[in-house]
Amino acid sequence: MTELEAGRAQGLAPLRGGSVLQRYRDVLIALVAFAVLASLPLLTGSKALLDFVIRCSAYGLFATSLNLLVGYTGLTSFGHGMFFGLGAYSFGLIMQKLGVPIPVAFVATLAITAVIAAVIGAICVRLKEIYFAFVTLAFQMLIHSTILSWASFTGGDQGLRGGISRPVFLGIDLANHVHLYIASCALLILGLLGMRQIAQSPFGYTLRMIRDNAARASFLGIDVWRAKLTVFVLAALFAAMGGMVMALFVSGAYPEFAYWTISGEGIFINMLGGVSTFLGPMVGTVLLLLLNDTVTRFTEYHGIVLGVVILFFALGLRKGLLDFVAEWFSQRRDAGEGR
């Protein structure tokens, strides 16, 4: 009896401390990452490098939010880019037309995105795999054509021109390049922390159950539809955050931000980096942007090169880069345990 209890306590001990420790560890990693990124302007005067990090922030938020759907829930959305575009346009329009402080526009954009995502999600998440993929794609095209045809409001195919005014708030001047850089990094780190919390919460494990076996989840008393809708809206919010970073970066918004190719790039990033780890999409983002920037410098046929890389990852590896690393580590651990 005592032996049994001892065994039980042993099994539980690492578990009990584990979940709390894990949270502190994540916050610590985030702080270190932010400190490193924030000190970059002190070390280098390269504007191009800082621009690169800002773009990584925008795309990284977007791609990681897509992974909440694809990797964690098994919902392969082909239209997730609509929320990237929606974020950029909502934010840009609110700043241009209303001239409110930036934090107000930020929150208002998230609210608008939540409402629209809830409506679109309510229609889409009931659908099975391929239908879900294509109906989300259809909604993306709908939003894209609305932006194109409602020229008086959105600027049509010219986009939101004339720049987005960036009034100073709390001593932060986003018209200043370094301020914008630090703000982008902060949004990226906060966004990643938020999504990490979602992934590691009880809700995150509900998502994994739905991905593995939705029917069984419902026989455990889980409302599958509601959980899918919730994650659809949450993912849309983080994608919109990415869109806002982009809008601030280019000081405008363009129809390409809402075009289906953005969704395609998101999927590609997830394939590159891998969907089985939380940071896979972040690694994929850096890889894709690096690849894109270097290849376009050397050849005008960059589409061919990118296509070959896609084929290599999709057909050759059948998984993303971090998937490989994670697998290697778990194999080593298993070998170490002597199994």
Q: Per CB under 8 A, does 22 bind other proteins?
A: yes
Contact region with other proteins (CB under 8 A), list: 18-26, 77-85, 174-182, 279-287: 18-26
Residue 158's Cβ-count burial label (10 Å; 0-12, 13-18, 19+) is: exposed
| CB nearer to other proteins: pick between 24 and 298 | 24
Contact region with other proteins (CB under 8 A), list: 15-23, 139-147, 297-305, 306-314: 15-23
| CB nearer to other proteins: pick between 222 and 295 | 222
Q: DSSP per residue over 8-50, as a string? A: HHHHHHHHHHHHHHHHHHHHHHHHHHHHHHHHHHHH---HHHH
Q: How far is the CB of 221 from other proteins (least distance, A)?
A: 4
Q: DSSP per residue over 41-90, as a string? A: HHH---HHHHHHHHHHHHHHHHHHHHHIIIIII----S-THHHHHHHHHH
Q: Per CB under 8 A, does 201 bind other proteins?
A: yes
| CB nearer to other proteins: pick between 202 and 336 | 202
Among 1, 2, 11, 298, binds other proteins (CB under 8 A): 11
Inter-helix orientation angle 321-336/260-273, to 10°: 30
| CB nearer to other proteins: pick between 141 and 222 | 222
Q: How far is the CB of 139 from other proteins (least distance, A)?
A: 25
CB 233 within 8 A of CB 59: no
Residues 6+ apart with CB under 8 A from 128: none
Alpha helices in 251-320 (DSSP H): 260-273, 280-298, 302-311
Binders of other proteins among residues 161 to 200 (CB under 8 A) are 197-198, 200
Contact residues for other proteins, defined by CB under 8 A? 4, 7-8, 11-12, 15-16, 19-20, 22-23, 197-198, 200-206, 208-209, 211-213, 215-223, 226-227, 230
